[in-house]
Amino acid sequence: MAGRTATRSLADVAAAAAQVFTRRGYRETGISDVSKALGLSHGALYTYVHSKEALLYVALAWSIGPELLEDLETPVRLSSEEEIVALARRWTDAEGLPKLTAASTRRRVDSVREEFGEIVDELYTFIETNRDVLALVAQCARELPEMFRFWFVQRRRGHFDALSGYLRKRIRSGRLREVPDVPTAARFIAETVAWFAWHRLGDPDSATLTDEQCRATVHHLLTSAFLRDS
């Protein structure tokens, strides 16, 4: 009932916070928005987190893996935004894109079709598996300077640069087709994968497509577009 304190787990709080932050962004989200979503009083939420920054931290931790909440003491306290960034950094370091990294440094390859296909599939799997985390991070990073620098400048642009470097290497060796602009081609690959692996779910018609259908079609069309004819 309104005004009464209900018992919730930290995971309940984190899940509700993740939904509200993803929908409204960091600036527009208040402690009261999350407490309302949970049916808690405003003051009751402070028994779980000490601040809005701490609320975003637990939301991010829950999105990455609910087990990350197990060792946190309540109320969760943060001393800086950098702790949120450090959590996001550990997540991206653990996930990574190892096939792209290996291909970018590999001098010779027997089958570019297999190599390129693995890079596309790896990116699809990363986005498909981490849709909720990506949505939360992308929404809030626009409004937090340290998070913006980490996510958009270091990680996201870093991935685009790595993919561009891979394309240049294989184009120079004659294994991939020439393209008008390599950075644009890298963006085309990444955004095509992202739309089908994630953003299509926001479209009523495209959401009816299964991940299996999308994954196979994206793999087929991108390899066909970039590989030279035998």
Please name the helix (run of DSSP H) or strand (run of DSSP E) that holds residue 227, with its range, or none: none
229: pLDDT confidence band, cut at 50, 70 and 90? confident
At 176 the three-state DSSP class reads strand
Asked if 121 and 24 sit in the same domain, the reply is no
Average pLDDT over residues 142-150: 96
Q: Is residue 4 part of a domain?
A: no
230: pLDDT confidence band, cut at 50, 70 and 90? low
Residues of the chain with pLDDT > 90: what percent? 91
Average pLDDT over residues 143-150: 96
Q: Is residue 5 part of a domain?
A: no
Asked if 99 and 193 sit in the same domain, the reply is yes
**Per-residue pLDDT, 100:** 97
Listed residue (49, 46, 45, 52) closest to 81, CA to CA: 52
CA 15 – CA 3 distance, rounded (Å): 21
Looking at residue 190, which CATH number applies to its domain? 1.10.357.10
Structure tokens at 60: 């991010």
Q: Is 4 left (phi over 0), alpha (psi -120 to 50) or beta?
A: beta
Asked if 126 and 203 sit in the same domain, the reply is yes
Average pLDDT over residues 8-27: 96
* Statement: residue 228 has pLDDT above 60: yes
Asked if 102 and 210 sit in the same domain, the reply is yes
* Statement: residue 20 has pLDDT above 60: yes
Domain residue limits at 109: 88-226
Is the model more confident about 130 or about 1? 130
Q: What is the per-residue pLDDT across 80-118, written as a single tens digit (0 to 9) for each?
A: 899 999 999 999 999 889 999 999 999 899 999 999 999
Q: Which residues of 85-117 are buried (b: 16+ CB within 10 A; e: fewer)?
A: bebbeebbeeeebebbeebbeeeeeeebbebbb
Asked if 69 and 179 sit in the same domain, the reply is no
Domain boundary among 44, 79, 114: 79
Number of domains in the chain: 2
Q: Is residue 2 part of a domain?
A: no
What's the chain's average pLDDT? 94
CA 29 – CA 17 distance, rounded (Å): 9
Is the model more confident about 197 or about 7? 197
Asked if 169 and 67 sit in the same domain, the reply is no
